């Protein structure tokens, strides 16, 4: 972070997660000889052109062959390199679920998978290009860590944290051009340790990925109405930060989990599974894309329809407190 200026953050905010990822991987490749990056015919889309040109011996395009992308990456890891596979969220965890499970998770390899355009960012391209189920798929795989960074600096820090973490990591990237900045200054990004952005006693919002900005706005609107609202950035969906959840169970009246993902198997499910082990916990509502294919439109249209914008989140809290 030392060299991430506020100008850079503004540039990244304007550009969105692909550029942040491409530049961060480039920095890692510069700093570490063992970093290898592979993709499946997405080099320009994933902003990997500069890595391809400057590190040709450590960059690979395997062609439109995602299953092999994962196994090839696994093989690089078996021999001690630090490989990153980069591809589309709509394709990779689903089509390559078995390769991620058998070739990465089962052998507990030090391999990283980064998905771009998770959720419904690819709006106009239609449902074939939406990733509403990737957290659900990867969450079933033992040993995998799942990171869903919420803003430009978080994306950068999540990728570096994944590089420093021994074991398989899935990084789910949301947040396109106009990616709101939440973290304006350096902060401590620790895998498995959620960040409490705002204290509050009534509702606790637990958000993952780019919906955090909407969540913060919802909390601010509620505060203005006298409803005390807590906001937690659960950037690590697996393993969950159970300490912070324990405090939510003890201190808050209502939990709203927020994610650009299906209501099945994502952050909401993960929290509910943990919560199921306790009695007298607050009620939980899962704000998500629901359990359905979406009506096609741009990102704003779909997430508004799903009730993921700040006014809807605030109304949801008000109606259920």
Partner 1 sequence: MVDKDTVKLIKERCAFMRRDIIEMGFIAGGRGAHFGPALSCTEIVASLFFKVMKHNPKNPKWAERDRFIQSKGHGCLAYYSALIESGYIDKDQRKTFKQDGSHLPGHPSRDMEHGIEISSGSLGNGFAIACGMAKAAQIKKEDHTYFCLVGDGECNEGLIWEAAMNASKNKLDNMVAIIDRNGVQLAGKTCDIMDFDLVSAWKAFGWEVTVLKEGNDPAVIVETLELAKQKRNGKPQAIIAETIKGKGISFMEGSLNWHAGVMNEEQYNQAVSELEKA
Interface residue list for partner 1 (CB under 8 A): 36, 57-58, 60, 62-63, 65, 67-68, 71-81, 98-99, 102-103, 106-107
**How does DSSP assign 154-205, residue by residue?**
HHHHHHHHHHHSSS-EEEE----SS------S-----TT--EEEE--SSEEE
Number of H helices, E strands in the chain: 13, 12
Please list, residue by residue across 95-131, b when 16 or more beta carbons sit within 10 angstroms of its beta carbon and e when fewer do: bbbebbbebbbeeebbbbbbbbbbbbbbbeeeeebbb
**Shortest separation between residue 39's beta carbon and partner 1, angstroms:** 12
**Would you state the structure tokens that stand for residue 301, as one six-digit string?**
């249209």
Which one, 62 or 131, has the nearer CB to partner 1? 62
Which one, 32 or 242, has the nearer CB to partner 1? 32
**Shortest separation between residue 87's beta carbon and partner 1, angstroms:** 13
**Shortest separation between residue 124's beta carbon and partner 1, angstroms:** 29
Q: Does 66 qualify as catalytic in the annotation?
A: yes
Residues 66, 117, 214, 259: which is the catalytic one? 66
Q: DSSP E strands: which ranges in 89-144?
A: 112-116
Which one, 55 or 189, has the nearer CB to partner 1? 55
Based on the number of CB atoms within 10 Å of its own CB, is 213 exposed (0-12), middle (13-18) or buried (19 or more)?
middle
Which one, 78 or 321, has the nearer CB to partner 1? 78
Backbone CA torsion sign across 166, 62, 14, 259: negative
Which one, 63 or 126, has the nearer CB to partner 1? 63
Distance (Å, whole) CA 104 – CA 68? 12
Answer whether 147's CB lies under 8 Å from 161's CB.
yes
Phi then psi dihedrals of residue 37, to 5 deg: -120, 130
Residue 278 DSSP SS3 = coil
**Shortest separation between residue 166's beta carbon and partner 1, angstroms:** 16
**Shortest separation between residue 63's beta carbon and partner 1, angstroms:** 7
Residue 236 DSSP SS3 = strand
Which residues are tagged catalytic?
A: 66
């Amino acid at each position: 972070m030392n060299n991430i200026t506020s100008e850079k953050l503004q540039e990244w905010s304007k550009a969105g997660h692909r550029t942040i990822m491409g530049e961060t991987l480039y920095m890692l490749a510069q700093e570490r000889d063992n970093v290898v990056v592979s993709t499946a015919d997405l080099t320009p889309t994933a902003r990997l052109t500069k890595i391809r040109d400057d590190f040709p011996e450590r960059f690979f395009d395997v062609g439109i062959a995602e299953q092999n992308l994962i196994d090839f990456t696994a093989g690089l890891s078996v021999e001690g390199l630090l490989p990153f596979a980069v591809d589309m969220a709509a394709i990779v965890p689903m089509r390559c679920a078995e390769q991620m499970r058998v070739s990465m998770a089962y052998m507990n390899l030090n391999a990283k998978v980064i998905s771009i355009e998770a959720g419904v960012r690819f709006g106009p391209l239609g449902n074939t290009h939406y990733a509403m189920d990737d957290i659900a798929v990867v969450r079933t795989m033992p040993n995998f860590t799942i990171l869903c960074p919420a803003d430009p600096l978080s994306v950068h820090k999540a990728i570096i944290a994944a590089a420093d973490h021994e074991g398989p990591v899935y990084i789910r990237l949301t947040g396109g051009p106009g990616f709101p900045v939440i973290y304006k200054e350096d902060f401590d990004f620790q895998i498995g340790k959620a960040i409490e952005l705002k204290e509050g006693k009534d509702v606790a919002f637990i958000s993952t990925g780019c919906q955090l900005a909407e969540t913060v706005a919802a909390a601010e609107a509620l505060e203005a109405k006298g409803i005390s609202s807590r906001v937690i950035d659960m950037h690590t969906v697996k393993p969950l930060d159970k300490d912070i959840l324990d405090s939510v169970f003890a201190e808050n009246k209502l939990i709203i989990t927020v994610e650009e993902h299906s209501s099945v198997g994502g952050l909401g499910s993960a929290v509910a599974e943990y919560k199921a082990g306790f009695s007298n916990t607050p009620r939980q509502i899962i704000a998500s894309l629901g359990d359905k294919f979406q009506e096609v439109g741009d990102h704003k249209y779909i997430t508004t329809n799903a009730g993921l914008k700040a006014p809807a989140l605030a109304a949801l809290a008000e109606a259920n407190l």
